[in-house]
Amino acid sequence: MAAEIQPRPKARKPCLLSKIEAFQEVVTAAAIIPKEDGVISVSEDRTIRVWLKRDSGQYWPSVYHTMQSSCSCMSFNPETRRLSVGMDTGSICEFILSEDYNKMSPALTYQAHQGRVVVVLFVLEMEWLLSTGQDRNFTWHCSESGQQLGTYRTAAWVSGLQFDVETRHAFVGDQSGQVTILKLEQDSCSLVTTFKGHTGNVTALCWDPVQRVLFSGSSDHSIIMWDIGGRKGTAIELQGHNDKVQGLCYASHTRQLISCSSDGSIVIWNMDVTRQETPEWLDSDSCQKCEQPFFWNFKQMWDSKKIGLRQHHCRKCGQAVCGKCSSKRSTIPLMGFEFEVRVCDSCYESITDEDRAPTATFHDSKHNIVYMQYEPTTGNLLTSGTDKVIKIWDMTPVVS
């Protein structure tokens, strides 16, 4: 049911430790159990399973529980051993796991949403259970009484959720590409601000309360770091994936960001460098280098008797340029461009070999990732793929 992998030592890449299989459908969410060789998983096949590592090195289910509908998401709190499972029906079912993780007892059921639960988040400090659903409602309940405390209607259904205990701010990312910050009270909430930088859906959020930065991943393949604590509106873009970003986790002790994507890549970003914001793209009716008219500039085309050209933009300076004046390509890692992008000829000459030094490392998980979770106490990363397999990785060779 699960195989133990013997990794090669001293490899500067994630080491595959174990694979857990035997699922009928995709695992929608899972969590590594800290201080235990164990994993909790929920799946579209309607099962909740607790996997414990045996002396043989293989993972076997110590708990196998079948629900009435598909399990869409989960939140696990190791301190209380409380497991909150979001359902396809809109309800959230809570369980308490025994100390030896061999038994699971039902606790509460919340009738939270009218549609599939997308994200569930248990906040021990507040005794709140936060959740979002495809009904476009963000709700929070009292985890002691099960009573709904409040709800907020979003413009699009929410696909990312994080919470800051100190300020009681909820960060809500939705399918329109927008991130909303809400200030939560015991029975009400107020809108703090909204910001949008993605052209696709927000698919993942990660909040670091120490640096006070929010990371958002999107179906547009990009990641944006929002400097909330700096109060200057700084937004740093990271481009390193070829498909939808499925998960984000920030290792604050090493200042590294881990991101996973549907393309199967695991990317480790060095955030302990001085990064630069990408420039705004400038508007112009003609090339800002050679002054040749763009194809919609009929007057200049007629006056100069020249054919209009297609407009491009230099990713380093943001100027509007023609193809001839931007024939070069370069990486610009400090601007987040780990892949080669279009730059104008003058910017290309200004980029040094030092400027091109990578600030991220790329690794292939060999399955299309739909979910990830990083456990900093062990340095292990869990990925779930469309192949219905959970993989557990030792990240200490690269996150250190």
Query: What pLDDT was estimated at residue 33?
Result: 96
The encoded tokens of residue 388 equal: 């219905």
The encoded tokens of residue 129 equal: 């259970």
Query: What pLDDT was estimated at residue 237?
Result: 93
- Closest-CA residue to 239 (of 107, 139, 332, 147): 332
Burial 31-58 (b: 16+ CB within 10 A, else e): bbbeeebbbbbbbbbbbbbbbbbeeeeb
The encoded tokens of residue 352 equal: 């040094």
Can you list the residues of the chain whose pLDDT is less than 50? 7-9
One-letter amino acid of 87:
M
Query: What pLDDT was estimated at residue 298?
Result: 63
The encoded tokens of residue 196 equal: 């949008």
The encoded tokens of residue 82 equal: 């409380």
CB proximity list for 355: less than 8 A, separation 6 or greater: 332, 333, 334
Q: Reduced to 3 states, what is the DSSP secondary structure of residue 254?
A: coil
d(CA 222, CA 234): 16
d(CA 147, CA 221): 38
Q: Other C-beta atoms within 10 Å of 111: how many? A: 12
Query: What pLDDT was estimated at residue 160?
Result: 94
DSSP string, 188-233: -EEEEEEEE--SS-EEEEEEETTTTEEEEEETTSEEEEEETTTTS-
Task: Answer for the pair 161, 172: CB distance below 8 angstroms, yes or no.
Answer: yes
Query: What pLDDT was estimated at residue 232?
Result: 67
Q: How far is CA 160 from the centre of its chain?
A: 8
Query: What pLDDT was estimated at residue 400?
Result: 79
Q: How far is CA 348 from the centre of its chain?
A: 32
Burial 211-233 (b: 16+ CB within 10 A, else e): bbbbbbbbbbbbbbbbbbeeeee
d(CA 147, CA 314): 54
Query: What pLDDT was estimated at residue 231?
Result: 65
The encoded tokens of residue 387 equal: 């192949």
Task: Answer for the pair 384, 369: CB distance below 8 angstroms, yes or no.
Answer: yes
Measure CA of the first residue to CA of the last residue in the chain; give whole Å.
31
pTM for this structure? 0.88
16 pairs with which residues across the strands?
393
Set out the domains of the chain in order of their start, with CATH numbers: 15-276+362-394 (2.130.10.10), 296-356 (3.30.40.10)
Q: Reduced to 3 states, what is the DSSP secondary structure of residue 397?
A: coil
d(CA 223, CA 170): 19
- Which parts of 36-147 are beta strand (E)? 38-43, 47-53, 59-66, 71-77, 82-87, 91-97, 104-111, 117-123, 128-133, 137-142
